[in-house]
Amino acid sequence: MKLESPRRWLVPVFFIACIVLGGSAQGIWLNMALQLAALGLLAWALLSRRSDELTSASRQLLILLALTAVVIALQLIPLPTEVWTALPGREPVATGYRALGYSLPNLPLSLTPYETVSTILVLLPALAVLVGILRIRQRESWLAAALLLATVAAVLLGALQVAGGGPTRSPWYLYPLSNNRAVGFFANSNHMGSMLLVSIPFAMAVFASFASRAGKRSPRGGLIAIGGAALAVIATGVALNRSLAAAGLAIPVLLFSTLLLPATLNIRRLALVTGTLALVGSVIVLSGSPIAADAAAGNIASIESRAGIWESTVELIRQTFPFGSGLGSFDSVYPLTEAPAQVRQTYVNHAHNDYLQIVLELGIAGIFLLLLFLIWWVVQVVAVWRSPLSTHYARAATIATAAVLAHSIVDYPLRTAAMSAIFAMCLGLMSQPRRERQSGDDPQARPTKHVTLG
């Protein structure tokens, strides 16, 4: 085995481990193992010789990560009593100390500093995947294959879960508190649905990549059968999963994924228009849909609608702005908006809108970071689709990230190590340098034009 062989397989193997082991916060020891392994992978990636120079997109993404780290670090610095008590939203904390007869200590910006540190640890696996891809050029086909293999395995596991009679009867559920649906390696059906969504464009990318290599002289019937089988497995997973978000967003994601097919099919403009309309319609419908309460299955449940949770979150933002309540503090501060007479055994621990939750927890700095990221993302999407040297996998990554960003409007898909690692993988593919045609690493299938002079 060659000395540099880990550069080829280490990140994909860790990526699969994130999907299989990081599907729920209930897996405390599994997540801890992933976080420790992530520290090792980060050290290896940072100390290894780079495969090539970082692209400008990669450098911008790393700068954005550094800014995020600075914002989080500032939230953990203890402040004098006279400073933190003067900040918006801190009066209930000060009142609590006085009611207990304690003197007011020096406290940081974060109302829940221990949860802030815990959230940082949760982000380590995704950070390791991203830095591993940015520092060491990976085989895009390997990463796509890892995602699709994990997805197929998750669908098969989900079928066994449903056939076994649900979480209380089936031994195939990985976590004791799970939705009574096909959740695969997850506990929440929406998280499983998110993985199914991002798998659609990568299944199409694998088919398009191999079809472009086959050329006109080779039969494509087998390739079409393979691509169709992969999409059929994903469709089966969506049906068994029964996530309203996955079902609603699957149609626009599939329409956008057809953009990866050869341009000669002449369906791109129609797919772009209909996909956009379907995406907007799906988000609108999901925004007004109720959040199912499933306390018996241990799902995060609420007596409120999404609109009710968002309204309460906006009120908390108003109370704590511009400094926020602290990363990871949502489930601790949300009860401040609830009437004691309405409190039930179930409770709200996410805003069901990651954008609102980030603004609540990070304040004006969260708005700034979100805007920077979305600007970076839009610029990269345009750059990837305009470049004739972009690969099918890089383009699939833009569709997959768009699906996650849309899903984040009505849910919290990135709150597990599994989905955050998948999202990080997609960002890494979008940031990698464009492949040259002679590299043979899945170039976009476009004929080379020759010009003869004289």
The model's pLDDT over 290-324, given as tens digits with 9 standing for 90+, comes to: 665 443 333 444 445 788 889 889 999 999 999 99
In a domain, 100, yes or no: no
How large is the angle between the packed helices 221-241 and 140-163, nearest 10 degrees? 50
Q: Identify the H or E element spanning 262.
A: none
CA dist list (Å): 359 to 179, 324, 335: 29, 7, 17
Give the range among 29-43, 80-94, 106-120, 270-284 with minimum mean pLDDT.
270-284
In a domain, 444, yes or no: no
Q: Are 28 and 159 in contact (CB under 8 A)?
A: no
Token readout for 347 is 């409770």
Average pLDDT over residues 50-68: 86
Distance CA 270, CA 276 (A): 10
Average pLDDT over residues 68-90: 93
pLDDT band at 50 (very low <50, low <70, confident <90, very high): low
Q: Which of 277, 252, 127 is nearest to 197 (CA)?
A: 252
182 φ, ψ (degrees, to nearest 5) = -80, 105
Q: Per DSSP, what are the bridge partners of residue 79?
A: 107
Distance CA 62, CA 362 (A): 19
Distance CA 422, CA 274 (A): 26
- Above pLDDT 70, what percent of the chain? 82
In a domain, 221, yes or no: yes
Distance CA 298, CA 402 (A): 29
Please provide the DSSP assignment of 33-48 as one string: HHHHHHHHHHHHHHHS
Q: Which of 324, 378, 376, 385 is nearest to 351 (CA)?
A: 324
In a domain, 101, yes or no: no
79 φ, ψ (degrees, to nearest 5) = -115, 150
Token readout for 445 is 């299938």
Q: What share of the chain is helix, strand, coil (3-state, %, to 5)?
A: 65, 0, 35
Distance CA 316, CA 448 (A): 57
Q: Are 27 and 423 in contact (CB under 8 A)?
A: no
Question: What's the total number of domains in the chain?
Answer: 1
Distance between terminal CA atoms of the chain? 52
In a domain, 204, yes or no: yes
Residue 271, pLDDT above cutoff 80: no
Average pLDDT over residues 332-346: 72
Q: Pick 451 or 376 by higher pLDDT.
A: 376
Helix (H, G, I), strand (E, B) or coil at 107: strand
Task: Give the residue numbers spanning the domain of 353.
Answer: 6-92+107-432
Average pLDDT over residues 215-240: 70
In a domain, 440, yes or no: no
49 φ, ψ (degrees, to nearest 5) = -70, 135
Q: Which of 342, 283, 285, 286 is nearest to 312 (CA)?
A: 342
Token readout for 248 is 């609603």
In a domain, 28, yes or no: yes
Give the range among 111-115, 120-124, 162-166, 249-253 with minimum mean pLDDT.
162-166
Helix (H, G, I), strand (E, B) or coil at 79: strand
Q: Are 374 and 168 in contact (CB under 8 A)?
A: no
In a domain, 44, yes or no: yes
Q: Per DSSP, what are the bridge partners of residue 107?
A: 79
Position 84, amino acid = W
